[in-house]
Amino acid sequence: MSMFCYQCQETARGQGCTVRGVCGKEEPVANLQDALIALLKGIAVYSLAAKGLSLEDLGVDVDRFIVEGLFTTITNVNFNAEAILTLVRRAFSIRQALRERLAEAQALPKRLPIEATFGPEEDTLEGWLAASQRVGLLQPPSLPAEVRSLRHLILYGLKGMAAYADHALVLGYRDEAILTFMREALAAITDDTLTVEDLKGWVQRTGEMGVRTMALLDQANTATYGHPEPTEVYLGVKPGPGILVSGHDLRDLHELLEQTRGKGINIYTHGEMLPAHAYPALKKYEHLVGNYGGSWWRQGEEFEKFNGPILMTTNCLIPPKPSYIGRLFTTGVVSWPGVPHIPDRVGEAPKDFSPIIAKALECPSPQPLESGTVPIGYAHESVLSRADQIIEAIKTGAVKRFVVMAGCDGRMRSREYYTEVAKALPPDSIILTAGCAKYRYNKLGLGTIGGLPRVLDAGQCNDSYSLVVIAMKLAEALGAESVNDLPIAYDIAWYEQKAVIVLLALLSLGIKRIRLGPTLPAFLAPGIVEALVQTFDLRPIQSVEEDVAAIVAGR
């Protein structure tokens, strides 16, 4: 096979992409990403061995580089072989500098994994593609299936964690314990002496650090932009040129809003940027006029009809159509060959969005897609400020159950399951959601209970942390020993690696009876699935009728 990747839910035949990624990732990109991940593992091995040595003169923030490198390899982020090759070369340089420093100090580890030693015969694209074959996901072939599975579960959790850590770093929030753990975990998954039980311990720790990372990002977002407030977001369009912002990065949106103030340009959000409208520091901009479209996988049609320029701030990019590729811009870790890229900040100076602003002024108004509004802004602060109201509704029977339907959306027709579950839940149920999975049901008009929408939208996928906080506080207020004793069911949809860290975070908190779909991850070996089922009662989704009946019965 020319490549192998099975990190997302839509991987070919539910087994792995071997020629071209379902996401659109070509063979060179997949193999260069393998090389980059291996080099990051090598950097982790050497940096841990270098503890106590002075590394300041290396001229690089090793932890920040690891975070950005991991984030780059998440599904639907970077499709540009040239951009990834640049990162590979930089990673190789950092790894070799660390190795030389250890050699000078006579402190090189006696055992070194291949990730710490491999390299190309020549520093060319072809040389690196050849070298990547030695460190791909299926190497070495002799690795026991359960060991490989656990290593990859940890790796994909780290990728999701890196995405959230990156957003926090962008806002100036850094937790050394998280960054150190990421290096320790990367090094651990190169260690052939670790057993299945050892690796299960690392999985648990990855989930625990995932909770800590999401809490850090929650702190970063709310300290910078205020706590989200219940907000009705406009779904139509307004006359005049517009810019559509997709992805997840709030700082990019904030800087664009500042630079477009008074220029007659309307700013719209798309996909996971919808929650931006609930932050007080962002909703004050009058030209942040609404949300355009829905989930990431619909962008081909929606970007085409928007008419104006689109800014991709993070994942989830899909292969652009010729009809709008000339209006597409990327920034941060996102890249597509030939698409203009807004450079990173220099110091604390904002990014320069003048190219996309100039493009917007040349373009007509967007075509309308829908009308009306959608309620958002029900993160933990907002919901818990209404705790008395919610607890009273529970005690009187007005609310009989909560269903956490968080996570990712995707293309598969089987994801209609989540729409049908939302429709089929009794009217005394409240759906708690975060992430783009909500686009399957957030516009159904499911009504209210006691003045609260039946779909309480906490925000982006990282705001799944809010749902954990809400559950724990409700358990405390109701005198329950555990969140598992509450009338809360978990029906989680996954697509990529940020959903993996959310799942590991929930499991690390001891939350049981999670239904996961639309399919179980291909990288989970049967023995690992069995262990998760036995320990946490993790369940694959069944039919809508079966699962709704079980949820209503508290099973």
Centre a 10 Å sphere on the Cβ of residue 386 and count the other Cβ atoms it contains: 16
What is the model's pLDDT at position 199? Answer: 98
N-to-C CA span, the chain? 43
3-state secondary structure of 266: strand
Place of tokens 């579960």: 153
Q: Report the alpha-carbon distance of residue 403 to residue 416 in Å, rounded.
A: 17
Ramachandran area for residue 406 (φ above 0: left; ψ -120 to 50: alpha; else beta): beta
Q: Packing angle between helix 81-104 and helix 27-49, nearest 10 degrees?
A: 20
pLDDT of residue 117: 97
CA-based nearest residue to 3, from 118, 98, 133, 90: 133
Residue 455, helix vs strand vs coil: strand
Q: For residues 509 and 468, is the Cβ–Cβ distance under 8 A? A: yes
C-alpha dihedral sign at 386, 390, 391, 396: positive
In this structure, the number of other CB atoms found within 10 A of the CB of residue 281 comes to 15
pTM: 0.97
Largest CA distance in the chain: 72
At residue 291, the pLDDT reads 98
Three-class HEC string of 295-315 = CHHHHHHHHHHHCCCEEECCC
pLDDT of residue 451: 86
Separation in Å, CA 507 to CA 510, 514, 537: 5, 9, 10
CA–CA gap between residue 359 and residue 376 (Å, rounded):
30
Please tell me the predicted confidence (pLDDT) of residue 164.
98
What pLDDT, on the 0 to 100 scale, is given for residue 52? 80
Note the pLDDT of residue 72.
98
Question: pLDDT (tens digit, 0 to 9) for every residue of the chain, 555 residues total?
Answer: 789 999 999 999 999 999 999 999 999 999 999 999 999 999 999 999 998 887 767 888 999 999 999 999 999 999 999 999 999 999 999 999 999 999 999 999 999 999 999 999 999 999 999 999 999 999 999 999 999 999 999 999 999 999 999 999 999 999 999 999 999 999 999 999 999 999 999 999 999 999 999 999 999 999 999 999 999 999 999 999 999 999 999 999 999 999 999 999 999 999 999 999 999 999 999 999 999 999 999 999 999 999 999 999 999 999 999 999 999 999 999 999 999 999 999 988 999 999 999 999 999 999 999 999 999 999 999 999 999 999 889 889 999 999 999 999 999 999 999 999 999 999 999 999 999 999 999 999 999 998 899 999 999 998 988 998 999 898 888 888 888 888 999 999 999 999 999 999 999 999 999 999 999 999 999 999 999 999 999 999 999 999 999 999 988
Give the rounded distance of the alpha carbon of 59 from its chain centre. Answer: 29
Helices first, then strands: H and E counts in the chain: 18, 16
Phi, psi torsion values for 493, nearest 5 degrees: -105, 135
Give the model confidence (pLDDT) of 17-47 as tens digits: 999 999 999 999 999 999 999 999 999 999 9
pLDDT digits (tens, 9 = 90+) for 225-234: 999 999 999 9
Q: Crossing angle of helices 464-477/497-508, nearest 10°?
A: 20
455 within 8 A of 441, measured Cβ to Cβ? yes
Distance separating alpha carbons of residues 315 and 270, to the nearest angstrom? 12
- Enumerate domains of the chain plus CATH numbers: 12-223 (1.20.1270.20), 231-360 (3.40.50.2030)
